[in-house]
Amino acid sequence: MMIRNENKGFTLIELVTVIVVLSILGIFTFSFIDNAVKTYRLIKDQSPLYADGAYIMERITRELSDATTVSQPPIPAPSSSSTLTFTKMHPTSIDPSSTVTFVKSGRDLLRNNRVIGKNINNFLVTRNVASGTGDETITVQLELTSPTNPSLPPFSAITKVVPNNYPGNYGVTGRSFNGDYYETIQ
């Protein structure tokens, strides 16, 4: 006669091991999902700042590339200022003014007294001259902060611009178009 063992199932140690393993997997899964949601919210909240900052920097870069002289920040370089004033080589029919001034006023950035950007926390322009070559660059730093969520980190952008219409051959780099550079800026 055969004796059958009808006791089928899991032991207590097996059940506890499975519960511990599933708990560890659950913790990793939920922490991953939590980080993904936080990243999405951060990107969603900062995307307007990024768009504004990119527009402002592109505008300043394009117009400064067409400059023949920069009067603010003043020489001698290096010098810094919260105002950028320069004379353009090619004024447009929409904006016939050849002198352009960017200045921070409160939390706004003004271009010839018209607002082109809001939520500006910092606007700094630095004029640098490379020793030995005389090559001049203009560094523009911009920082925007969220008006609705001050806990968000600020959006910062920095760029260096070499005005293309400066006179002369511009040192060893030859980056000047000697007044022949033209780009339509509207």
The Cβ-side half-sphere exposure at 27, using a 13 Å CA radius, reads 5
| Predicted confidence band of residue 171 (pLDDT cuts 50, 70, 90) | very low
Collect all residues with Cβ–Cβ distance below 8 Å to 171 and sequence separation of at least 6: 130, 133, 134, 135
Please check whether residue 4 lies inside any domain of the structure.
no
Model pLDDT for residues 43-55, shown as the tens digit of each residue? 888 888 889 999 9
Please check whether residue 155 lies inside any domain of the structure.
yes
pLDDT of 181 above 70? no
Model pLDDT for residues 74-106, shown as the tens digit of each residue? 776 677 888 999 888 777 777 777 889 999 999
137, exposed or middle or buried, with CB in 10 Å at 0-12, 13-18, 19+? middle
pLDDT of 179 above 80? no
| Predicted confidence band of residue 66 (pLDDT cuts 50, 70, 90) | confident
Report how many domains make up the chain.
Answer: 1
pLDDT of 146 above 90? no
User: Which range marks the domain in which residue 37 is found?
Assistant: 16-174
pLDDT of 166 above 60? yes
Model pLDDT for residues 22-34, shown as the tens digit of each residue? 999 999 999 999 9
pTM: 0.70
| Residue 22: predicted pLDDT | 96
Please check whether residue 181 lies inside any domain of the structure.
no
Which of 64, 89, 96, 95 has its CA nearest to residue 180?
89
Please check whether residue 8 lies inside any domain of the structure.
no
| Predicted confidence band of residue 153 (pLDDT cuts 50, 70, 90) | confident
| Predicted confidence band of residue 162 (pLDDT cuts 50, 70, 90) | confident
Please check whether residue 160 lies inside any domain of the structure.
yes
Please check whether residue 179 lies inside any domain of the structure.
no
Please check whether residue 11 lies inside any domain of the structure.
no
Please check whether residue 183 lies inside any domain of the structure.
no
